[in-house]
Amino acid sequence: MAEETIFSKIIRQEIPTPLLYQDELVTAFRDIAPRASTHILIIPNTLIPTVNDVTEADELTLGRMITVAKKLAAEEGIDENGYRLIMNCNDHGGQEVYHIHMHLLGGKPLGPMLAV
């Protein structure tokens, strides 16, 4: 069993954080170190450490993450000009918290996907 993360505590509001969205599957809130004008994290309410740990049973939750991203992008007014969704996996992928999460970024041109 994976250990709890800071995100688990945010989901339960043990760490008070203004939530932008929460239902039985996912929770969304602003990133504390934003990389764009809009930088929101969308996380499953159940702890899935990495994308490598996703199972078929998680498909509904992962789909919900995307539909919530679409909803929040519209609410933030970034849907028309565009936005980026990012999920990192493990160290080389840049994952910092081992509770999968999707970054919703937008509000300005984001440039190329990778600066090589």
In order along its 116 residues, the chain shows pLDDT tens digits of 467 999 999 999 999 999 999 999 999 999 999 999 999 999 999 999 999 999 999 999 999 999 999 999 999 999 999 999 999 999 999 999 999 999 999 999 998 887 66
The Cα 95–Cα 2 span in angstroms is 15
Write down the catalytic residue from 39, 92, 99, 101.
Answer: 101
Please, which residues bridge with residue 44 across strands?
26
Q: So where are the chain's domains?
A: 6-106
Q: What pTM did the predictor assign?
A: 0.94
Indicate the fold that domain 6-106 takes in CATH. Answer: HIT family, subunit A (3.30.428)
Residue 39 is a catalytic residue: no
